[in-house]
Amino acid sequence: MIILASQSPRRKEILTEIIGKNFKTIPASFDERAIHEKNCHLLCLEEAKGKAGVVASSNPDDIVIASDTMVFFQNQQLGKPKNHDEALKMLQMLSGNTHEIVTAYCIQKGSTILKTRVCSSILFIEKMADMEIEEYIDTGSPFDKAGGYGVQDKDFITSKIVKGDVYTIMGLPKEQLEEDLFELGILE
């Protein structure tokens, strides 16, 4: 059985596109504060590995896929906003600017890490008026997303991918994961 160590509806959707519905989801209860890595790519990878390890330890016969996504703007990590003011501040910073989105994933079985990968995309978000940002925040969508936005929320966010792909931005690099699953013999 394949387990996606995530509650993210976007990650579930992407994995379904790759392997169909033949997987289950188990959210990982991993303390991300335990990692003190400074490099943004390595930090994201360590968090993905931590999530995979937690779920794999209690499901040793299953293939676990865990992922982590982080948004970085001017050397600052932007996580999920905790409240309205944080969401407003993040979206005001990103509005009219480019930033980096890093997604790392780990494929693990038992205590063995089968494959890890770090992918990066650069996204430009069109300038938004404060009123537009407020309308978006009122939808509630920003609160479960790193950086306070979803690239798929096209009614509110106008963006352009400068480098990389939309799946990395959404939290699970589809092409790379599919390639790795074939290489590992998990997909045929």
Query: What are the catalytic residues?
Result: 68
What whole-number distance in Å separates Cα of residue 63 and Cα of residue 167? Answer: 21
The neighbour count for residue 20, using CB atoms within 10 Å, is: 8
Helix then strand then coil, % of the chain, to nearest 5 = 40, 30, 35
Give the chain's count of helices (H) and strands (E): 6, 7
Task: Determine contact, residues 124/91, Cβ cutoff 8 Å.
Answer: no
C-beta of residue 43 within 8 angstroms of C-beta of residue 37: yes
Q: Using CA atoms, how far apart are residues 94 and 78, in angstroms rounded to an integer? A: 10
CA distance 39 to 180: 24
